[in-house]
Amino acid sequence: MQRTITLHIEPNDRLVKTIEMTNLATNDILKAGFENRIVNKLKLHHLTYYPLRKKYPDIPASIVTTARDNASEMLKREKLKRLSTKRKWSAIRYNQRTFTPELGKGFVTLASTNKRVNVPIKIPNYFRKYLGWKVVSAKLSYTGRKLVLGIVVEERTPSVRPPNTIIGVDTGIINHAVFSNNNFYRSSNIRKVKGQNQYLRRRLQAKGTRSAKRKLKQLSGREKRFMVDVNHQIANWILSQPFDAVALEKLGIRREKRLGRSFNGKLGNWAFGQLQRFIEYKAEGQGKAIIYIDARYTSQKCSRCGDIRKSNRNGLVYKCKACAFELHADLDAARNIASLGKAEAGRLSVNQPIVASSVSEHSVSPQLQASSFRAG
């Protein structure tokens, strides 16, 4: 987020002259660029730098450079369709090389056609809250009576902490969502509602009357609202857990294959996508990270030894042929998603330790532990 602190300062001959000269130079660059059909910064530089230094020896090289960047952007904006120009006292730009802010000490220094100018400033109370922000750049213009200095500041983003603990989420049919910390969101209620609706839908479709069509519409609206509610609950629950990051599967890679035919309807995909959007949105509000992983093979892979074998999975049971590890199949997938998320987070921040989340290895009967979380 950026803000501009606007200050009115007493006119200073050197700065007024700098504005005027810089705008003349900018107009020269604009004209050269327009006539030669050049908008690129580097090419504009080759075309104009030395002639400008010769023509305006008093303008510091670093101001010529910012004028050229400004001209390049203006040319791009107009797409070379017409030649735009700067007015005599239009705002000119200052950057870190041409401007030193000492906001805390009550002055700034600005490059000019004749050395640096030290300008005392007084920051009004309503701008004081930005004093801790990072100063990015400044612009200076002249009204004919006052100089106007706009100091552009940017909110310092809190340093991004690598996630220490990551929760993995697997979304399926039998358990709508399964979490790597041994929790299950049971979708029996979802399936019940959907089953009832499907029955009603068929009957209404068979009728085909106008009132049946209206009822069909109401039905799909009700079903959507129900899923919205469920997804909010799941997303809230995930983000209430003590984890820094949530690992989710990139949708569209595996989803279609794993959803059975009966659930492959529009609502199924829509609901899973919505759940992810809710998690994303709520995570952002809490400063938690989302890590997307490629979920291929997560349902065939052993979360203990890494063995990948289709035959390890048999319905709801995952039994590893390599290490004999046994676990609820969706929980195994959720743990794989969590560890892929950890690997991904490790790649993003190699210097920081990523501590494994405390998943227990002996929960072959996760249903018993899942009672803590049941909604809908």
Binding residues for Zn ion (CB under 5 A): 302, 304-305, 307, 320, 322-323, 325
Strands 245-249 and 166-171: parallel
- Strand pairing partners for 152? 4, 137
Report, in Å, the least distance between residue 312 CB and Zn ion. Answer: 8
Report, in Å, the least distance between residue 182 CB and Zn ion. Answer: 18
Instruction: Give yes or no for a contact between 253 and 296, defined as CB atoms under 8 angstroms apart.
Output: yes
Distance of CA 343 to the CA centre of its chain: 20
State which residue, 61 or 322, has the beta carbon closest to Zn ion.
322
State which residue, 138 or 327, has the beta carbon closest to Zn ion.
327
Report, in Å, the least distance between residue 320 CB and Zn ion. Answer: 3
Instruction: Give yes or no for a contact between 113 and 67, defined as CB atoms under 8 angstroms apart.
Output: no
Report, in Å, the least distance between residue 336 CB and Zn ion. Answer: 11
Report, in Å, the least distance between residue 308 CB and Zn ion. Answer: 10
Instruction: Give yes or no for a contact between 120 and 106, defined as CB atoms under 8 angstroms apart.
Output: yes
Nearest to 121 by CA among 105, 135, 142, 100: 105
State which residue, 278 or 325, has the beta carbon closest to Zn ion.
325
State which residue, 287 or 306, has the beta carbon closest to Zn ion.
306
Report, in Å, the least distance between residue 334 CB and Zn ion. Answer: 16
Sheet containing 317-319: give its strands across.
313-314, 317-319, 326-328
Contacts 24+ apart (CB under 8 A), 197-206: 197/222, 197/223
Report, in Å, the least distance between residue 338 CB and Zn ion. Answer: 16
Task: Express the helix, strand and coil content of the chain in percent, nearest 5 each.
Answer: 45, 20, 35
Cα dihedral: 276, 281, 283, 286 (round 10): -170
State which residue, 226 or 325, has the beta carbon closest to Zn ion.
325
d(CA 352, CA 115): 46
Strands 183-186 and 175-179: antiparallel
d(CA 105, CA 122): 10
Report, in Å, the least distance between residue 318 CB and Zn ion. Answer: 9
State which residue, 130 or 325, has the beta carbon closest to Zn ion.
325
Cα separation values, 208 from 149, 195, 204, 205, 213, Å:
70, 20, 6, 5, 6
Distance of CA 94 to the CA centre of its chain: 29
Report, in Å, the least distance between residue 322 CB and Zn ion. Answer: 5
State which residue, 61 or 305, has the beta carbon closest to Zn ion.
305
State which residue, 31 or 309, has the beta carbon closest to Zn ion.
309
State which residue, 311 or 351, has the beta carbon closest to Zn ion.
311
